[in-house]
Amino acid sequence: MELFDHLLYGLQNLAGVTPVLVVIAGVVVGILGGAMPGISPSMAVALLLPFTFGMSASMGIVMLCAIYLAANYGGSITAVMINTPGTPSAVVTAFDGYPLTRKGQAGTGLGVSLIASVVGGFVGIVILILFSGPLARLALKFWPAEYFALAVLGLSTIASLGGGRWLESFVAVLLGLLLNTIGLDPLSGVSRFTFDIVRLYDGFSFIPVLIGLFALSEVFSCIESGEVNAPSVVPDKDKSPWPSVRDYLKLKYAMLRAGIIGTVIGIFPGAGGTIASFIAYDVEKRVSNDPDSFGKGTPFGVAAAEASNSASVGGALVPLLTLGIPGSSSAAVLLGALMIHELQPGPELFTKHPEIVYTLFSSLFVANIFILILGLLGARLWIRTALIPKRALYPMILAFSFIGSFAVRSSMFDVGVCLAFGVIGWILTRYDVPVSPVVLGMILGTMIEQNLRTTIMMGGPGLFFSRPLSLALLTLAFASVLVPYLRGRKSPSSRKGAGGAA
Amino acid sequence: MKRTVLWLSVVAILVSSACAALAAYPEKPIHVVNYVGPGGLMDVTSRKFVSVAKKFTDATFVIENKEGAGGLVGMQAVLEQPADGYTVFAATTSNIAKVLTSKKNVDEYVWGFEWIAMLMKDPECLIAAEKAPVNSWESLVKDAKEKNGAQLWTGPAAGGNDHLIAMKVWDKAGIVGKWIPYKSGPEAMMALLSGQGVVYVGNPADVGGREGFKIIAVARGERMKQFPDVPTFAELGVKGLEDEVMWRGFAVRKGTPEEAIVWWETLLKKVVADPEWRGFLEKDGIDVVDYGRKEFTEQIKKDLEDSTTYLRKYGLIK
């Protein structure tokens, strides 16, 4: 009961015009920042950080948390409408969100992504408030061996992502992993394939690659196929484009499952919302009665992706508040914000400044409610994107892709990267190689390499098998690749869509 | 004739405007380039410095973040700007080590700068997990001898300042350890807490607000006021580690007008005398300094020399 008193106290701090305006401002900036390709949640939080210097510590943190939470939702809007994930964690949302739009059901895609984000957000916050202690102890059980095993488990999701096209998916994921070897060696600092270009020292910047692979390649394919001149899909005028409450209720377990997965994976520094969404999507596909509908526009896919990445926000705050260690790059910016206000993040915050902690908790609830309200209002606007003729829309996508790529590091080099990956993505799509495994390979590559080598430095490869958690995760990963493969061999007739590559 | 007059007037205008510019540094916004993202350690420092500096000057400061390649991206960005004192690089010790380990040209990336203001010395220290079996210098040495080279030390990037200090400690104390690099300092501390390594190399501020850590030795001449129980290396019988620090400071491109440099040196003295600035740093056990060009350049020379010696000794560079 004491907890509720604290939360109520926190809510009282939020009563008043200024705090509510601060939350609304945070949510608006977050949604717009998230929707803009090129501005990831951590960048949205970072951009607004200087504005919080003049505020009180608790208001500043409230605003930044609202941005963080809202940006994770915002990324889904462009993913659903124009197949351009606004944030890395929305990549998975595009798998089913965009096919829904193409089918003329943009309302379903937008509605489900909003509701799933809000539900996932709530799941994450509740778990954060109730179980941050035990979760922090779990995070400490993770050694590099476990991080490696978790990344391998993430990689194993390609087995289901590729939709039966084993070889193509495998090639794509290898491409992603190989791209990751460009840049300074994460352990020894030796420069690899950088050709002495300082911009390449950290490898390819992830966001320009993402925009190129998804948005630009789509534009190129469209130009090639002449689809640009095709009329846009106009939704049925007589029917409401939005899903009914009953439609949402059907997704409740999917959202809950994904929310829990998202929160738990969110607690591990370096894993975060993107990996969480891949794994949640994979799990959802496996438990589904109709796995074939995934990738072709099922609300279950959108719900899993969005619920998990929004839930990861709560997860990422667990190590920040309990150990003083940020669980994600956005949480790292929050840590900086606390330090600027001369507050030490970590367990001391609970004892020395409980008012800040509980205001933060309450503000997450409030922010989530405003995401729902503003999201519902905004969705009426976003859905009109579907009505824009492609001839007008695609040049705009092209322009925004370049602006977004430039925005990441104010660098023309990244614009070139975006263009190059646009061409690569177009070629891959043309030969029926899925692009999402490339992204997965790039996200997980560094994590796999660093943790593999660290483990071997620490005590040799035996550690992967002598540590129970690591062994369990690796077995799970192995099984999740092997089972569908064996099943696929038993019934070769169920294999589809491999024709293009042959 | 007409043409000559025209040229003369052009020259006159240029000269006078140049004089005006010189006479009134800073007459336009000064860009401070951080090599870390917003919220990073140096970013927090530059923003605090600017906010304190505003008490003493009307100059406008713009804080920029140019992340990447351990500071090389930011350094390059400053070197590409004109040497007029309006673009300032916010540097830390790590940048010097980065130039060496990535085999960049020292004359360009280090001596292409004029090192104008060193703000602080953050003493380097060894941190252990409070409840672990190794939680003092004596137990650390004993454990290192037993493990004979397999004792694990955690910290950020290989070849960085913390790694360098580790190598120095091994050398001076006659023990051997193994450096396990993590993506960031906080992740390395978490690794320490979960028992992956026995000791973390960092700064006193790292233990602030976090539970379960203990500083076991500090590389300083005397004990710190804020942590009176922490022994220095000298007290523990290890000589040659009296002044190992992570510094933070500002640099401008070589060739910047003298006037701008003097302006910065003067501003630094004023900021350093300010209680808000001192309080901000001293609570974390950091020594506030006001080194100008001469002393800062000496520090850089020492860093370069030390880094080269130890990186070579332990085989990180040839």
Give the 3-state secondary structure of B194-249.
Answer: CCCCCEEEECHHHHCCCCCEEEEEECECCCCCCCCCCCECCCCCCCCCCECEEEEE
CATH 3.40.190.10-classified regions of chain B: 125-218
- What does the pLDDT look like over A322-348, one tens digit per residue? 888 888 888 888 888 888 888 888 888
Instruction: Say if the Cβ atoms of A47 and B38 lie within 8 Å.
Output: yes
Q: Indicate the number of domains in chain A.
A: 1
Listed range (A425-429, A489-493, B26-30, B203-207) with the worst mean pLDDT = A489-493
Predicted pLDDT of residue A500: 35
The topology (CATH level 3) of B125-218 is D-Maltodextrin-Binding Protein; domain 2 (3.40.190)
**Six-digit token string for A299:** 């609300």
A250: Cα separation from own chain's centroid: 23
Each residue of B226-255: b (16+ CB within 10 Å) or e? ebeebbbbbebebeebeebbbbbbbbbbee
Q: Is B196 in contact with A50 (Cβ distance < 8 A)?
A: no
Average pLDDT over residues B280-304: 93
Listing from the earlier edge strand, what are the strands of the sheet with B152-155? B178-181, B152-155, B199-202, B125-129, B213-218
Residue A328's pLDDT is what?
86
Confidence of residue A496 (pLDDT cuts 50, 70, 90): very low
To the nearest 10 degrees (0 to 180), the angle between helices B41-53 and A329-340 is: 30
Q: Give the phi and the psi of residue B215 in degrees, each rounded to 5.
A: -80, 130
Q: What stretch(es) of chain B map to CATH 3.40.190.150?
A: 29-122+245-313
Nearest chain A CA: its distance from B13 CA (Å): 34
B69 touches chain A (CB under 8 A): yes
- Give the pLDDT confidence score for residue A198 in this predicted structure: 84
Predicted confidence band of residue B174 (pLDDT cuts 50, 70, 90):
very high
**Does A346 reach chain B within 8 Å, measured CB to CB?**
yes
Q: Look at residue A241 and tell me if it is in a domain.
A: no
For residues A30 and A375, the answer to whether their CB atoms sit within 8 Å is: no
DSSP A90: G
- Residues 187-226 on A with a CB inside 8 Å of B are 187-189, 191, 198-199, 201-202
| pLDDT score recorded for residue A188 | 80
Domain-embedded: residue A237: no
Q: How far apart are CA B170 and CA A411, in angstroms?
A: 42
Q: What is the pLDDT of residues A159-209, one digit of tens each?
A: 777 666 778 888 999 999 999 999 988 888 788 998 988 888 888 988 899
DSSP line for A176-207? HHHHTTSEE-TTT--EES-TT-GGGTT-S-HH
Q: B29-122+245-313: what CATH class?
A: alpha beta
pLDDT at res. A129: 93
Q: How far is it, in rounded angstroms, from Cα A362 to Cα A12?
A: 9
* Residue B225: other Cβ atoms inside 10 A: 8
The closest CB to that of B183, out of A198, A270, A319, belongs to A270
Please state the separation of Cα A44 from the chain's center in Å.
Answer: 14
* Helix (H) or strand (E) run with residue B87 in it: strand B87-92
Report CA A412 to chain centroid distance, whole Å.
25
Of A140, A201, A319, the CB nearest to B72: A201
Between the alpha carbon of residue B287 and those of residues A488, A491, B40, B51, B111, the distances in Å are 66, 71, 20, 20, 26
CB B260 within 8 A of CB B26: yes
Distance CA A274, CA B250 (A): 37
Q: Domain range holding A58?
A: 2-230+251-490
Answering whether pTM is above 0.90, one says no
Residue-wise pLDDT for A359-411, tens only, equals 999 999 999 999 999 999 999 999 888 888 888 888 988 998 999 898 887 88
Q: pLDDT per residue over B119-142, tens digit each?
A: 999 999 999 999 999 999 999 999
Which of B38, B68, B152 is the closest to A49 by Cβ?
Answer: B38
**Residue with tokens 């950088």, as numbered in its chain:** A194
Inside any domain, residue A243: no
pLDDT, position A502: 32
Which structure tokens are listed for B1?
């004739």
